[in-house]
């Protein structure tokens, strides 16, 4: 691992836990196993480094999903595939959502710089919903609600990990990890059950 990589790794960790204002350059240097001078030798300023970490996280979290989804031919397929992909994504960067939300909350301008570059496949979902609702296969639901429902159920337990672990699992790390692992399947079942109209062909 090059020095630059270890700096970025350290910056990711510190920024994502503490936020821009809470992070200390010294802490990032320590975490990277180098000193402050070298840190500035690589990345001139805190803002500079932060901007790299933030946009990296932002770009990874949003558009990654929408890309390979156009293939879905029915809603069930879409839902299962979407949940699978998004779960993979967030498992790799569990702190990113909380980090992004906090920083945008603190400085809404951050969103302006990145707007337009991304999107959710609302149009596709809208079409799938319309077609299958007309065919009596699923309950009609606004695509925005469906998407947000799914994303909420995936992201929130990662963002709220410390609280949930305390309130629901007596701080047992293992019990919580097991809980998280179950969720991909649980959410898929939950969503499909919620939107599917069951046939009564008895």
Partner DNA sequence: GCGTGGTTAAACCAAATGGTTAAATCACGT
Partner DNA sequence: ACGTGATTTAACCATTTGGTTTAACCACGC
26 binds a second copy (CB under 8 A): no
38 binds a second copy (CB under 8 A): no
25 binds a second copy (CB under 8 A): no
The strand ranges marked E within 64-172 are: none
Read off the tokens for 114.
């990145």
Token pair 């630059």 is found at 4
Read off the tokens for 9.
């790794």
Residue of the chain from 118, 133, 137, 184 that contacts a second copy (CB under 8 A): 118
Query: Using CB under 8 A, which of the segments 32-40, 41-49, 77-85, 156-164 binds a second copy?
Result: 156-164
Nearer to a second copy, 38 or 101 (CB): 101
Please state the closest distance from residue 27 (CB atom) to DNA, in A.
8
Round to whole Å and give the CA distance between 119 and 117: 7
Query: Using CB under 8 A, which of the segments 5-13, 34-42, 92-100, 124-132 binds a second copy?
Result: 92-100
Please state the closest distance from residue 13 (CB atom) to a second copy, in A.
12
**Residues 138, 196 contacting (CB under 8 angstroms):** yes
Interface with DNA by CB under 7 A: which residues? 3, 23-26, 33-38, 40-42, 44-47
CA 184 to chain centre: 14
**Residues 154, 191 contacting (CB under 8 angstroms):** no
Q: Which residues contact 167 (CB under 8 A, 6 or more apart)?
A: none
**Residues 169, 176 contacting (CB under 8 angstroms):** yes
Round to whole Å and give the CA distance between 176 and 184: 14
Binding partner of 133, given DNA, a second copy, none, CB within 5-8 angstroms per partner class: none
**Residues making contact with a second copy (CB under 8 A):** 17-22, 62, 95, 98, 100-102, 104-106, 108, 111, 115, 118-120, 122, 139, 141-142, 144-145, 147-149, 151-153, 155-157, 159-160, 162-164, 166-168, 179, 182-183, 186-187, 189-191, 193-195, 198, 200, 202
């Amino acid at each position: 691992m090059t020095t630059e990589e270890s700096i970025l790794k350290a910056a990711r960790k510190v920024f994502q836990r503490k936020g821009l204002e809470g992070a200390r350059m010294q802490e990032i240097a320590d975490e990277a196993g180098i000193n402050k001078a070298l840190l500035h030798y690589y990345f001139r300023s805190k803002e500079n480094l932060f901007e790299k970490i933030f946009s990296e996280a932002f770009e990874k979290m949003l558009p990654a999903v929408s890309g390979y989804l156009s293939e879905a031919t029915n809603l069930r397929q879409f839902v299962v595939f979407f949940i699978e992909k998004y779960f993979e994504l967030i498992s790799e960067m569990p702190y990113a959502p909380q980090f992004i939300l906090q920083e945008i909350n603190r400085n809404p301008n951050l969103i302006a710089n990145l707007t337009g570059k991304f999107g959710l496949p609302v149009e596709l979902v809208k079409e799938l919903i319309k077609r299958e609702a007309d065919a009596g296969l699923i309950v009609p639901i606004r695509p925005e609600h469906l998407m947000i429902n799914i994303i909420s159920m995936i992201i929130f337990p990662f963002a709220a990990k410390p609280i949930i672990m305390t309130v629901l699992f007596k701080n047992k790390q293992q019990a919580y990890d097991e809980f998280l692992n179950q969720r991909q399947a649980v959410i898929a079942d939950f969503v499909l059950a919620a939107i599917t109209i069951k046939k009564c062909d008895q």
